[in-house]
A and B are shown apart, each in its own frame.
Chain A
């Protein structure tokens, strides 16, 4: 159908104007800003690719790759836990007919709360002297298990990941549960009649048929893992201690761009350069994701 010019403008322009000014322009501007050094006040100084040099070869290298490594580690562990446990719990839910509504609601409750608040909550529980976790261990006589969870560089990141899983697991359980329910019951019944036991049913029927959902979730988790910031802020702070063992690209970026006690460099140009790097890692995966859902949509 055709449309009058005036009406076209009314429908299209508001979205396009807002989107272009506040999303596209800033992203492109970041690319340019990364070529400058700028403390936020005063003059911007053009330095070409020096920021990137510092990131890949200079004083910033250690911190950047440390953070990057943590993001990858985060992605791998969290995805395995959330999808693995999520799938297992979803399967268990699938065996129940009664009461599944209640379980679904309880499963999702932690997810209904902003991550930041979940972080503050667990921050109190994880206090080494008076937090409930350690108090419980001590009460049960398991004193040796009462660790300084957020103070030990070997434990801090893992602890944060567990809190993250606690909060998010419900979402994955429900999505996977929906995917499992989508598998035609006839297929399963037929398999039972053929004498298959439960494990075979799961492995050969349910898993392959839910695989596309799982794949989509993995891609989403990749993108989300690189966006981590809130949980680390609330449990540790933007310094990402102890000794940067919980540093991720999000906190590194914030520290570099906006400063704060303990930033090793406060330069918005350098922050923009960090952005460009994160961008080039996440963007291909995002594009893949959009491509996949467009493809799926067209094939329906």
Chain B
């Protein structure tokens, strides 16, 4: 008798296991993966909008942790267990290239109209003449600061690096943490270096680097390393143990005055603290006669994967993503700059400043995301600056050694910098 009951329970459990998966294989669901958890609301609105247009659709949006995203996508696409649509990275870039070369991303349907997009956006998704995704956002990174704190201590936007340091000095003397840095997340340190580089080294220098006219052992590069290393005394105590969410919370709650980050953080800060007054400035150059630059890049695109189950519906979604309406929804929910031209942007002062930086001050040459230095391994970002910045901040290597690390790594595969 007891065994019979046990068997019954088991049967019930097995049935409950199978039934939901059968139901979930609904013909009207399109699944999307992203590293951007904050976009959930965007896709809800997209679903509503598409339903209004008469499309019977349900969009299932799944965020995946930033640090696991690329490997999870890779693995799942290989095993054909991936989603219909995915947020892809950009070209040039190793991740996207590998997936395209292995036919894990499908080329876009001709019906999807990309003619309005600026050439730079199209370049980030085109491989061998075919487009593999619809670009969704442009990111702008730089220094975001708490306007109220700045006002309280009569600080103004620094025009040179030294002014930035003296601002930090004033703040520290008054008991405010000048910069909150999430040292545990190496990619943030990587980004910090890159955003400083476009102003302090300048696009001309980076162009020379790209063409092989100078290399990473250049004293200018070492000097930048040193500047950053010297800045760490203005970071919060124990900064190597803090991660991104700590940074967001500390900045939002006014415990620190400045962060090195990107505009995508704005949504989070406002959610934590709707009263926060955020400002932005580009990292100031070394000398007053130089121009500051902003690091901007194509964040990525929405691509269709080889695991797609609902191809027709997924195509409809992609068509929508290429329209200004999507851009409007996206911008207004996330306060990010949509890649789609013609989107209506939110009437927000910070947003306007950041858009201005993108339109008028973007550095034409970069060395982090979207640069030639990240197309192969060892990549300048992940394999050199990420661990290298951590090691330098921890005092394990010197600024000179960090430079040597970069040179040794990149000269292994990047032809212009190879030892002659």
> Hey, which bits of chain A sit against chain B, CB under 8 A?
39-42, 126-130, 146-153, 237-239, 241-244, 258-266
Nearest Cβ on chain B to A3's Cβ, whole angstroms: 24
Contact B394 A128 (CB under 8 A): no
> Hey, which bits of chain B sit against chain A, CB under 8 A?
66-68, 70-71, 74-75, 78, 98, 102, 104, 183-184, 186-187, 236-242, 246, 250, 377-378, 382-383, 386-387, 390-391, 394, 396
Contact A265 B394 (CB under 8 A): no
Contact B70 A128 (CB under 8 A): no
Contact check: which of B237, B386, B387 meets A128 at CB < 8 Å?
B237
Contact check: which of B66, B239, B241 meets A261 at CB < 8 Å?
B66
Contact check: which of B242, B377, B394 meets A153 at CB < 8 Å?
B394
Nearest Cβ on chain B to A143's Cβ, whole angstroms: 10
Contact A242 B67 (CB under 8 A): no
Contact check: which of A237, A238, A242 meets B183 at CB < 8 Å?
A242
> Cα distance A241–B241 when bound, in Å?
9
Nearest Cβ on chain B to A254's Cβ, whole angstroms: 10
Nearest Cβ on chain A to B241's Cβ, whole angstroms: 2
Contact check: which of B68, B242, B394 meets A129 at CB < 8 Å?
B242
Contact B383 A151 (CB under 8 A): no
Q: A40-B75, A238-B68, A241-B186 are in contact. List 5 more A-B contacts (CB 8 A).
A: A126-B241, A151-B238, A151-B239, A237-B67, A260-B71
Q: Which residue of B lies closest to A39 (CB)?
A: B98
Q: Give 4 nearest A-B pairs by CB, closest first.
A: A151-B241, A148-B238, A148-B241, A259-B71
> Cα distance A263–B378 when bound, in Å?
10
> Cα distance A52–B390 when bound, in Å?
28
> Cα distance A237–B71 when bound, in Å?
14
Q: Which residue of A lies closest to B245 (CB)?
A: A127
Contact A40 B78 (CB under 8 A): yes
Residues on B with C-beta less than 8 A from A263 are: 71
Contact B186 A262 (CB under 8 A): yes
Nearest Cβ on chain B to A58's Cβ, whole angstroms: 13
Contact B102 A242 (CB under 8 A): no
Contact B240 A152 (CB under 8 A): yes
Residues on B with C-beta less than 8 A from A258 are: 71, 75
Known: A241-B186, A258-B75, A262-B186. A148 touches B240 (CB 8 A): yes
Residues on A with C-beta less than 8 A from B66 are: 261
Contact check: which of B67, B70, B75, B237 meets A239 at CB < 8 Å?
B67
Residues on B with C-beta less than 8 A from A238 are: 67-68
Contact A243 B396 (CB under 8 A): yes
Contact B377 A148 (CB under 8 A): no
**Which DSSP category, helix, strand, loop or mixed, fits chain A's interface?**
loop
Residues on B with C-beta less than 8 A from A147 are: 238
Residues on A with C-beta less than 8 A from B71 are: 258-260, 263, 266
Residues on A with C-beta less than 8 A from B386 are: 261-262
Nearest Cβ on chain B to A113's Cβ, whole angstroms: 22
> Cα distance A237–B386 when bound, in Å?
15
Q: Which residue of B lies closest to A150 (CB)?
A: B241
Residues on B with C-beta less than 8 A from A241 are: 184, 186, 390
Residues on A with C-beta less than 8 A from B239 are: 148, 151
Q: Which residue of B lies closest to A237 (CB)?
A: B67
Contact A260 B67 (CB under 8 A): yes
26 residue pairs bridging A and B, Cβ less than 8 Å apart: A40-B78, A41-B102, A41-B104, A126-B241, A127-B246, A128-B237, A128-B241, A128-B242, A129-B236, A146-B238, A148-B237, A148-B242, A151-B183, A151-B239, A151-B241, A238-B67, A239-B186, A242-B390, A243-B394, A260-B67, A261-B66, A261-B68, A261-B382, A262-B67, A262-B382, A263-B71
Q: Which residue of B lies closest to A127 (CB)?
A: B246
> Cα distance A265–B376 when bound, in Å?
11
Contact A242 B394 (CB under 8 A): yes
> Cα distance A271–B392 when bound, in Å?
28
> Cα distance A146–B236 when bound, in Å?
13
Contact A42 B242 (CB under 8 A): no
Contact B78 A41 (CB under 8 A): yes
> Cα distance A152–B250 when bound, in Å?
20
Contact B67 A150 (CB under 8 A): no
> Cα distance A127–B378 when bound, in Å?
32
Nearest Cβ on chain A to B173's Cβ, whole angstroms: 19
> Cα distance A266–B376 when bound, in Å?
12
Known: A128-B241, A148-B239. A264 touches B383 (CB 8 A): yes
> Cα distance A130–B183 when bound, in Å?
16
Nearest Cβ on chain A to B68's Cβ, whole angstroms: 6
Residues on A with C-beta less than 8 A from B378 are: 264
Contact A128 B238 (CB under 8 A): yes
Residues on A with C-beta less than 8 A from B394 are: 153, 242-243
Residues on A with C-beta less than 8 A from B396 are: 153, 243
Residues on A with C-beta less than 8 A from B242 are: 127-129, 148, 151
Residues on B with C-beta less than 8 A from A130 are: 246
